[in-house]
Structure 1
């Protein structure tokens, strides 16, 4: 089994990091570690359509499945499913703040139950050879960010987990909506840095509010890896320089947005032939030309036409034609 280089990853995001987004992200970066949306154990164990939740394109690797749940046996069964479907890692969600998952003992509320999380991790690891990792917050509600986070990490690490991705915000389960939990609690990068200092043998990654390549380089001075969420979705071109900037590759897969989108055309055509509607794919492309001359026209044309019955690849081609290629040449020359 080839070890995963976790230097940079795209965070799991519900309704966003679908297989179509991930396939496009892979066109932009060959090295980025990609995560699925969170999939609950119930969805996997009680739904006969495994393809719906576990299906992926072979080009997506390295690829991790994120699970939501708190029953050790159910999580172990689902981890085994992830391995059998070819995933490179299985990750346990201990960070989602939504009311719906709290009611089912899923997500950030588990930070109050480190012993249960440890048991879950132990059962999962007993079933698979692929890495079992945890994504968590620095705390929830009135927890002490230092003492309670330390207890959580130590307890789960003692059960055998050596890799944690830590969102550097608290989750306030009482008083804030899931949307507010993405922005309102202040970022505390220093807390995650201290966690790494206290546990040099653990892999500690950081997540939350990161947008610029310079910020990623700065964080990598303190932690083992960086994870980017919304910026990687709304501004996917960020991924286009990851291979050279963060992994030291001699060159990136594509030097222009137009080239990247042309390279993605065969995948779009394949999915259309499988019966997938164009707007289910194209919604992940809307931010590609962000800040470029013609970028708004690209977005508008796709948004207005991709949902129409029978919409095909010609919608993408027509939208791309609204963005002059020479503008990217100017951008590269001035970068």
Structure 2
């Protein structure tokens, strides 16, 4: 896609008149996006799609008649189109949103709430970023090859806002191995593929998945029910040990800190770093400082470059670094940037990640025992 390419065409499906108007305003604030229709229910959306097929659908799940999840499943079975789910923050909404991701939705975003201007502006950026990412997730990936017209606009804060760069002259003492993973669009299913393949004695794992506040707890609970490892949403001060996975809570940064006999996490508020909160860059920078060569850093599917820079800091601190390959990435953005910057030491297919994690842990533990 070039700088003169047509904007991404978005169909909004929401039963609320005010929500449709608000979402239209948000979408049309981005020159890379254009609203091609706004439907009050699934039946009206289906009629519009027969006349004018959109590039991306922005879908509410709670609708009268045919609910959004049923509509999504019909879309995926008949004419797959990238779908971004826009959900309210309720327990039912969280569960339905996870089901939507499993059914083929590209991304889940939180429906903006009435709040201060800064919060509304941040929510608008997240919606537009999600729609751009969804537009790049199609199998042909024609738009992804150049992608310059879809680069997110606006300021991007560096991880310096949260913590200083690592002191690479200081060598971290040998500890148990730890794995840090960052993912975004397409990451929920990628993480499920990896974590369900791990045995109970897998190394400690910390994950940043770009996801709204309130949804990460349900996501962790769902993974915990499927995996042999224990999966939970991180809380401030929690220790992460062998056989456990901590997922950063939505809207909070997660940082790694070393203990005398392991690691704990710090969960804290802060500005959006690399346009995200939680930010992969923040986790990776903290891992470079706290863990050094004891760590494995992995960047999975996602749009943008969050994590790419600080994966390089992990590499410089002695960590092993890996990026997901293009063929298995839903959106080859974050992994591509990690490769382009030289931050990733190798690219791996998604189905090989679990074996790579266990191989790293075995080799590292041999070094710990020898030491």
Q: Normalising by structure 2, report the TM-score.
A: 0.28
Q: Comparing both structures, which one devotes a greater share of its residues to helix?
A: 1
Q: Comparing both structures, which one devotes a greater share of its residues to strand?
A: 2
Higher relative contact order (CA 8 A, sep 6+): 1
